[in-house]
Amino acid sequence: MGKIQLKSVRKAFGDVEVIPPLDLTINDGEFVVFVGPSGCGKSTLLRLIAGLEDVTSGEISINDTPVTALPPAKRGLAMVFQSYALYPHMSVKKNIAFPMKMAGLPVEEQEKRIEAAAKALNLTDYLDRKPGQLSGGQRQRVAIGRAIVREPTAFLFDEPLSNLDAALRVNMRLEISELHQKLATTMIYVTHDQVEAMTMADKIVVLHAGRIEQVGSPLELYRKPQNRFVAGFIGSPKMNFIEGAEAAKHGAHAIGIRPEHIAISATEGAWKGTVGVSEHLGSDTFLHVATEFGTINVRAGGEVNLHHGDTVYLTPDLEQLHRFDAEGRALA
């Protein structure tokens, strides 16, 4: 069981409130991602759950037991950080065994858990190596292995892939998702990368200035962002926003339309514009089109025969149009 509940949890450093009172429930077995821009309070929230920071007020419970006053070691959680913090002079096996040794687990049990963790993480052939003889991805897997053998109630990850190069990040993303499927243990994963959030999460918690902007599945957030912040944060490339008279036509202060929900034509359409920068990705082309409402990013097919300076016409798919009021709240 790994249900985690936060009730009116608030955190201030001195006079500065970084997390206003916040409620959140994480269900047993869920893969929950905290996502938001740098400095929005993701790590602080995770550290409050882990017990590495004290809450200023409010309550945290794990499996319906209050843990607010418990030190980290008594909460049954395992944390994996961006920096792997492995012991360089110890073998992979000894690194993984370390928390079990500290806890005084029988050696036989230690061996059993090391074997299972190594298997789950494809580290079986590397157990005798030192961290210095491993790649960045393998080192991160050792750090995860060290968390697994503790058989925690939940895993807490704080931007664990930030130190890895792009290709490796994609691999590790899949490995962590597979690991979650194998273990079915609750995982809380912090990232500033909305693509990581979208690809890994059962449930995404979007944070902004310490506040929860929205909680939902990746597709709920993509389809029905509750406000302009979430609309602009989730989805890549970003949603286009238009204010003023064009938005007023739709009964809104601002309208939003994603690049993939705009048709482009050389001959006719709703909005006239001029092609500026084109980004050719092979599978898609993103065209930045200058219009009277500002630059609009449009996804076109892989091979488009449009060039810088061409006149084009854009037509938004009205079914996919998002409308916002002056406070940035989504209109139904």
263 φ, ψ (degrees, to nearest 5): -90, 145
Name which position in 5, 43, 138, 191 contacts Mg ion (CB under 5 A): 43
Residue 172 CB, nearest approach to ligand ADP (Å):
19
In terms of CB distance, is 187 or 231 closer to Mg ion? 187
Residue 34 CB, nearest approach to ligand ADP (Å):
8
Q: Which residue is nearest to Mg ion (CB)?
A: 43
End-to-end CA distance of the chain: 37
Q: Per rule CB under 6 A, is residue 13 in the interface with ligand ADP?
A: yes
Applying the rule CB under 6 A, the residues between 52 and 81 that interact with ligand ADP are: none
User: Which letter does DSSP use for residue 103 in this model?
Assistant: T
| Sequential DSSP letters for 111-165 | HHHHHHHHHHTT-GGGTTS-GGGS-HHHHHHHHHHHHHTT--SEEEEESTTTTS-
Three-class SS state of 230:
helix
Q: What distance in Å separates the CA atoms of residue 94 and residue 72, rounded to the nearest whole number?
A: 22
Q: Per rule CB under 6 A, is residue 39 in the interface with ligand ADP?
A: yes
Q: What does the angle CA 297 – CA 220 – CA 154 come to, to the nearest 5 degrees?
A: 120
Region of 39-47, 80-88, 135-143, 284-292 interacting with Mg ion (CB under 5 A): 39-47
Q: Per rule CB under 6 A, is residue 42 in the interface with ligand ADP?
A: yes
Name which position in 9, 33, 41, 206 contacts ligand ADP (CB under 6 A): 41
In terms of CB distance, is 162 or 278 closer to ligand ADP? 162
In terms of CB distance, is 42 or 261 closer to Mg ion? 42
Q: Which two tokens stand for residue 327?
A: 């406070």
For CA atoms 103, 108, 113, 114, give the dihedral sign: positive
68 φ, ψ (degrees, to nearest 5): -50, -35
**Distance from chain centroid for Cα 83:** 18
In terms of CB distance, is 43 or 140 closer to Mg ion? 43
Name which position in 40, 77, 154, 254 contacts ligand ADP (CB under 6 A): 40
Name which position in 7, 17, 18, 250 contacts ligand ADP (CB under 6 A): 18
Q: Per rule CB under 6 A, is residue 44 in the interface with ligand ADP?
A: yes
Site residues for ligand ADP per CB under 6 A: 13, 18, 36, 38-44
Site residues for Mg ion per CB under 5 A: 43
